[in-house]
Amino acid sequence: MTVTLPTSPKTPPPAGTSVGTAAAASARRASADAPFLVAAAGGTPSRRPVWMMRQAGRSLPEYRELRTGVDMLDSCFRPDMLAEITLQPVRRHDADAAILFSDIVVPLKAAGVAVDIVPGRGPVLEHPVRTDADVAALPTVEPDQLAAVVEGIRGVLPELRGDQVLIGFAGAPFTLASYIVEGGPSKNHGVTKSLMYSAPATWHALMEKLTATVITFLQTQLGAGIDALQLFDSWAGFLSLRDYREFVAPYSRRIFDAVRPYGVPMIHFGVNTSELLGEMAAVGPDIIGVDWKTPLDVAAARVTATLRSEGLPAPVAVQGNLDPAVLLSEPRVVAEHVRRICAEADAAIAAGDARGHIFNLGHGVLPETDPDAITRAFAEVHAL
């Protein structure tokens, strides 16, 4: 059984969006020549922009000290702590972007879903969602339930320089669904895909609810003044191209359509998505994140070929893609890899397959990473 969804890349924004986008634009304070914004738009930035996923926390001793005795999700709902953790790596590393300290399950928790982050394991749900009744009972988040996140964002913005941007983020519906259906992290997402295949109507109903929550979460962040956003589909790489197109792409496209009127750069990223990169770009982001397994010039060529074959605007900017493990190596090795990746990105731009490059990791910072190694890598990127 296949369920056909009434989606379109030209879906009009929700009622009242024009008012919301105007207010959001007035809340943003990054300058137009901020390197991140210039690179995303295809211009020539004053320096190559760099930030790293999971730079907020994990590897920083000041983060671990601040978090002592405070649960992960609790810290995401404490505006003062949220703001301080977001700013710590920007101060230490001279990053061109701050990434909002949060978690993909924050909107679920805010909506009243019984979810917790178990140390050493990850998000765990008290009651997995696997039936029509479960889906019907699943709440969607409302803006007023996200007041702590808004307050945290407003604590970050005044502390950033005009050439630094604040990136908000959300988990994509498929990745959220994988936790909700499995009840926690999974190595193969078998229960999730079984539901997708055997009960497609239930699956699509779940994705509808999660899409609504993700849109509200992102629009709330946009209203608070974020300068860019990233939609993480961390586990999309477990899907075939056919399954991605049928069960996932329509919802990610709907999210990008809903937030596009706000006029900020939009990033899409997943792990092990080499075969999906073109379709992930086709759902509407301005920037495609690439993990460390595919060279940036190869990834960019693949994305551009797909976009052009589907009659969509090309190229997009690329983000990535240093292997996080490289930062555990000696400085000489890190510098060699940084130069290689920048050269691959420049080759993609010269070939017309990418319109700009934002340096990043191909996944998140490893907890055991020496913070000084990150600082040196940022300096190396800025020197090129």
Would you list which residues are annotated within the binding site for substrate?
Answer: 54-58, 103, 179, 234, 363
- Amino acid identity, residue 216? T
In three-state secondary structure terms, 97 is strand
Q: Residue 129: is it exposed, middle or buried by C-beta count within 10 angstroms (0-12/13-18/19+)?
A: buried
Instruction: Please tell me the distance from the alpha carbon of residue 254 to that of residue 252, in angstroms, as a whole number.
Output: 5
Six-digit token string for 227: 């300068």
**Residue in 257, 250, 259 with CA at minimum distance from that of residue 221:** 259
Side chain identity at 22, as an amino acid letter? Answer: A
Q: Give the residue numbers of the binding site.
A: 54-58, 103, 179, 234, 363
Q: Are 66 and 74 in contact (CB under 8 A)?
A: no
Cβ 93 vs Cβ 55: under 8 Å: yes
Distance CA 13, CA 10 (A): 9
Contacts of 378 (CB under 8 A, 6+ apart): 50, 93, 94, 95
- The H or E element spanning position 369 is none
Q: Which of 294, 262, 258 is nearest to 278 (CA)?
A: 294
DSSP character for 126?
S
Catalytic residue numbers read: 54, 58, 67, 103, 179
Pairing between β-strand 97-99 and β-strand 317-322 as defined by DSSP bridges: unpaired
Contact 296, 317 (CB under 8 A): no
